[in-house]
């Protein structure tokens, strides 16, 4: 029996093109995979015979292992390729690598790359479905989906939920994807950070902008902390990490300004003692580990949804 289509597009390159219906359907499907992943037998054979390649040009712990597990739980053959030790470190271009891998007939290609737009470029050159696992400052769609799912599980909805995204917004693809997705779903998004770490056109993003952590936290339902993305900074954006922590680090005292039942999120990797104190990261309001669990389920949902489209294409 043909399963219903969930995504309209062949690839998942960002959340910008997703409708409310697509986002909701992906989250609902992910809920099924949360349940499956909590069972002793975690495997289905929906992707049996399919080949998934994870092509990571930037280091990753959570995202890469999460995509690997997701593919394996769906029964796909999964191959991980990281740049170290591959021909990319010998100077091969992204497109040469992609065309080479494409010749091996993969069905799904997961890519992380340091340049914005890399996933889209790749999608134009290969014949398989492409999933963006983070491209430069641009987008990280599966992170935004897993964050939305985590919020929905705790708050029961996304509409009118006040989400304070705090820290280095400017260099963060997580912030970008979250701003787009959460706003589309009706959440009230705030961005909170020092001027140099906010995007130049912050006001135009349709979010509320706060230049003080205390102000931004007041009355928030969700507090999402972000790491300083040093690898993307081309100058001195902050005086020192100590100074940053003094004004922008989330500690228990500051968290009291948010709603009593506020949850604390972080996409990882965390820099304890810089943007977040350990007492908060490991405290009762933290859902950081749950985000990791939701990550596997959301990635299973995305792989499943794209594989359904491949079946349809083949049948047409």
Task: Tell me the closest approach of the beta carbon of residue 83 to ligand ASP, in angstroms.
Answer: 15
Those residues with Cβ within 8 angstroms of residue 270's Cβ, 6 or more apart along the chain or in another chain: 225, 227, 276, 281, 288
Considering the rule CB under 6 A, would residue 140 count as an interface residue with ligand ASP? yes
Helix and strand numbers (H, E) in the chain are: 11, 9
165, 179 contact by CB (below 8 A): yes
Reduced to 3 states (helix: H, G, I; strand: E, B; else coil), residue 264 is strand
Nearer to ligand ASP, 140 or 190 (CB): 140
Alpha-carbon distance of 234 to 243, in angstroms, equals 19
Q: In what order do the strands lie in the sheet with 263-265?
A: 208-210, 188-192, 162-166, 222-225, 263-265
Size of the site for ligand ASP (CB under 6 A): 8
- Closest approach, Cβ 316 to ligand ASP, in A, equals 35
For ligand ASP, the binding residues in 266-295 under the rule CB under 6 A are 267-268
Of positions 113, 138, 152, 173, contacts ligand ASP by CB under 6 A: 173
Residue whose CB is less far from ligand ASP, 215 or 290: 290
Residue written as tokens 């935004």?
A: 144
227 lies in the binding site for ligand ASP (CB under 6 A): yes
Q: Min. distance of Cβ 293 from ligand ASP in angstroms?
A: 16
Answer for which of 76, 165, 174, 198 binds ligand ASP (CB under 6 A) is 174
Looking at residues 23 to 52 of the shown chain, list those that interact with ligand ASP (rule: CB under 6 A).
Answer: none
| Smaller CB separation from ligand ASP, 51 or 178 | 178
Residue 52 vs residues 32, 61, 106, 151, 270: alpha-carbon distances, Å? 21, 18, 6, 29, 29
- Residue closer to ligand ASP by CB (options 14, 107) is 14
Q: Which of 73, 173 has the CB closer to ligand ASP? A: 173
Kindly identify the residues of this chain, within the stretch 59-118, that bind ligand ASP according to CB under 6 A: none
Residues 125 and 189: their CA atoms lie apart, in Å, by 36
For ligand ASP, which residue of 14, 106, 134, 249 counts as binding (CB under 6 A)?
134
Residue at shortest CB range from ligand ASP: 227
Q: How far is the CB of 40 from ligand ASP (least distance, A)?
A: 30
Q: At which residue do the structure tokens 């400017």 appear?
A: 170
C-alpha distances out from residue 201 to 19, 166, 186, 230, Å: 24, 16, 21, 21
The SS3 assignment for 240 reads: coil
User: From CA 270, how far away is CA 313, in angstroms rounded?
Assistant: 41
Comparing CB distances to ligand ASP, the nearer of 51 and 54 is 54
Which residues contact ligand ASP by CB under 6 A?
Answer: 134, 140, 173-174, 227, 229, 267-268
């Amino acid at each position: 029996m043909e399963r219903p289509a969930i995504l309209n597009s062949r690839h998942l390159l960002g959340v910008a093109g997703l409708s409310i219906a697509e986002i909701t359907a992906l989250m609902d499907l992910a809920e099924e995979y949360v349940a499956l992943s909590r069972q002793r037998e975690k495997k289905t054979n929906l992707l049996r015979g399919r080949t998934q390649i994870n092509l990571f040009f930037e280091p990753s712990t959570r995202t890469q292992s999460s995509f690997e597990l997701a593919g394996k739980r769906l029964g796909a053959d999964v191959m991980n390729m990281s740049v170290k030790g591959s021909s990319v470190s010998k100077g091969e271009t992204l497109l040469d690598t992609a065309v080479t891998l494409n010749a091996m007939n993969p069905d799904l290609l997961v890519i992380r790359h340091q340049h914005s737009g890399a996933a889209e470029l790749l999608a134009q050159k290969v014949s398989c479905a492409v999933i963006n696992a983070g491209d430069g400052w641009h987008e990280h769609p599966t992170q935004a989906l897993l964050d939305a799912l985590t919020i929905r599980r705790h708050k029961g909805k996304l509409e009118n939920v006040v989400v304070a995204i705090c820290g280095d917004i400017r260099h963060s693809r997580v912030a970008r994807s979250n701003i787009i997705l959460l706003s589309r779903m009706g959440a009230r998004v705030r961005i909170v950070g020092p001027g140099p770490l906010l995007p130049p056109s912050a006001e135009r993003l349709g979010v509320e902008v706060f230049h003080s952590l205390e102000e931004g936290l007041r009355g928030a339902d969700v507090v999402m902390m972000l790491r300083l993305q040093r690898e993307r900074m081309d100058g001195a954006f902050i005086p020192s990490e100590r100074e940053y922590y003094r004004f922008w680090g989330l500690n228990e005292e500051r968290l009291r300004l948010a709603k009593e039942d506020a949850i604390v999120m972080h996409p990882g990797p965390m820099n304890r003692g810089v943007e977040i104190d350990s007492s908060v990261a490991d405290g009762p309001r933290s859902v950081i580990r749950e985000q990791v669990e939701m990550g596997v389920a959301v990635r299973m949902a995305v792989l499943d949804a794209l594989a359904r489209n491949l079946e349809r294409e083949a049948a047409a």
